């Protein structure tokens, strides 16, 4: 068999598989069905950004760069790809949320698509990457039945049931390039498209058949483009020790929005035009009524190549300057501090499986962008993970665990949440456009 033809055929099959996965991912339901009542407000619950390597190290990423990590939060990192290499990364996660309030507790679990990424070099000084990642989740479901004797019951309304439901997600699709300016300095830029629809419904059904029930339906569609900028410095010192520093920045941007709100009333007797009866139907299109904030990420990372890494990131986002069309909660500036460690006993060992494993741990302290009843939510995370490198290959399977505590103020009506998440990703690395042959 002609070895060159065989390898070329295998690469073509591999590329075809990647294309199929990418196309399939557009049909995946990006809706995370973890039921958080905080998803009722503004853009819902924001997803933490980054690869599973980054997330398992607390979320650090500004200074992260290597030959098989697509660190898309800083596009300057794309110059770290090996010449003629190709990197593909796809991940899923499983989350369980437990809500704690005044004598009320419940939990919910869901599995969901997390990211799909690809990257490769374009020449010796330019790297390219693209990907699809969820930005925010708007799912929640809250139901209550009020009967005589229940708190909140009164004779005017009688018995009734209420249901509040949200669905939808916002997704980011990005493509970008990194450029090597000097041996130690790189810069990069991402073009990011944000799109998606959040839908919310509030429904009140009264037991008295002579009383009108009411339903409100709201929809917010957001589309638009923005640019992310990044710069990195990397230096290597004696005995393979390194130091990286990185900064990435996203400018504030107005997005096109379509906001729809319909209110109707109805009874158990459906006789048009009396039931259902549309009370109002509002539809607004705007290019300047939704403004997402600017964000700055600064980080440093140091260690010994292929042995250990330590890093720290600081992220600041000006959510107080943002505005959401139809948003019903105030927003506050957020600050996040992240720290992470990685240790590899022997990265290229061909005799010991355990010594090839990459061990990671990290933590995060952050503000939440929501300001409810003048109280800003806080988040605390402890993370960990590992990567199992395939024998005689740089490809690997990565796993992470994340425990996040979202803290409100129960005395002010704001519940607490505990979110436990596990994830797995497949990181494939191969050389492309290289003819291999035996003499």
The pLDDT tens digits for 220-242 are 999 999 999 999 999 998 888 99
Stretch among 14-18, 43-47, 394-398, 405-409 having the lowest mean pLDDT: 14-18
State the pLDDT confidence band at 141, using cuts at 50, 70 and 90.
confident
Contacts of residue 122, Cβ cutoff 8 Å, sequence gap at least 6:
128, 177
Which of 24-33, 94-103, 162-171, 290-299: highest mean pLDDT?
290-299
Contacts of residue 81, Cβ cutoff 8 Å, sequence gap at least 6:
67, 87, 119, 120, 121, 127
Determine the Cα–Cα distance for residues 421 and 383; give it in Å rounded to an integer.
9
Contact 209, 254 (CB under 8 A): no
Tokens 């009264």 — which residue? 206
Determine the Cα–Cα distance for residues 67 and 70; give it in Å rounded to an integer.
8
State the pLDDT confidence band at 27, using cuts at 50, 70 and 90.
very low
Residue 58: what are its φ and ψ, rounded to 5°?
Answer: 85, -10
Q: Which residue has the higher pLDDT, 216 or 279?
A: 216
* Confidence (pTM): 0.86
Answer whether residue 331 shows pLDDT above 60. yes
Residues 341, 346, 347, 348: what is their CA dihedral angle, to the nearest 10 degrees?
170
pLDDT digits (tens, 9 = 90+) for 37-78: 898 999 999 999 999 999 999 999 999 998 889 999 999 999
Stretch among 194-198, 299-303, 406-410 having the lowest mean pLDDT: 406-410
């Amino acid at each position: 068999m002609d070895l060159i033809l065989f390898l070329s055929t295998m690469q073509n099959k591999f590329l075809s598989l990647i294309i199929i996965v990418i196309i399939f991912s557009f049909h995946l339901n990006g809706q995370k069905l973890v039921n958080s009542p905080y998803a009722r407000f503004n853009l819902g619950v924001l997803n933490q950004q980054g690869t599973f390597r980054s997330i398992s190290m607390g979320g650090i990423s500004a200074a992260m760069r290597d030959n098989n990590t697509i660190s898309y939060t800083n596009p300057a990192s794309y110059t770290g790809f090996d010449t003629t290499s190709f990197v593909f990364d796809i991940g899923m996660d499983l989350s369980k949320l437990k809500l704690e309030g005044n004598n009320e507790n419940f939990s919910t679990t869901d599995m969901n698509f997390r990211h799909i990424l690809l990257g490769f070099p374009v020449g010796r000084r330019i790297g390219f990457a693209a990907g699809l990642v969820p930005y925010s989740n708007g799912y929640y479901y809250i139901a209550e039945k009020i009967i005589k004797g229940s708190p909140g019951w009164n004779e005017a309304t009688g018995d009734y049931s209420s249901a509040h439901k949200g669905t939808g997600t916002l997704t980011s699709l990005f493509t970008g390039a990194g450029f090597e300016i000097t041996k130690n300095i790189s810069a990069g830029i991402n073009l990011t498209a944000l799109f998606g629809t959040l839908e919310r419904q509030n429904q009140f059904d009264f037991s008295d058949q002579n009383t009108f029930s009411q339903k409100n339906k709201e929809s917010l569609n957001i589309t638009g483009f923005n640019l992310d900028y990044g710069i990195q410095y990397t230096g290597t010192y004696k005995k393979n020790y390194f130091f990286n520093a990185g900064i990435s920045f996203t400018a504030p941007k107005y997005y096109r929005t379509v906001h729809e709100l319909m209110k109707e009333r109805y009874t158990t007797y459906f006789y048009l035009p009396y039931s259902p009866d549309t009370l109002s139907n509002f539809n607004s299109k705007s290019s300047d009524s939704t403004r997402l904030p600017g964000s700055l990420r600064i980080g440093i990372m140091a260690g010994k190549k292929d042995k250990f890494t330590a890093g720290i990131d600081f992220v600041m986002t000006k959510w107080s300057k943002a505005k959401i069309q139809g948003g019903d909660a105030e927003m506050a500036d957020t600050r996040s501090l992240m720290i992470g460690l990685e240790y590899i006993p022997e990265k290229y060992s061909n005799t010991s499986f355990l010594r090839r494993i990459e061990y990671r741990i990290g933590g995060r302290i952050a503000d939440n962008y929501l300001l409810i009843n003048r109280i800003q939510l806080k988040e605390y995370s402890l993370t960990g993970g590992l990567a199992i490198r395939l024998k005689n290959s740089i490809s690997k399977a990565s796993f992470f665990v994340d425990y996040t505590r979202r803290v409100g103020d129960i005395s002010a009506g704001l519940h607490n949440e505990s979110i436990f998440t596990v994830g797995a990703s497949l990181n494939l690395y191969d050389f492309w456009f290289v003819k291999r042959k035996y003499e």
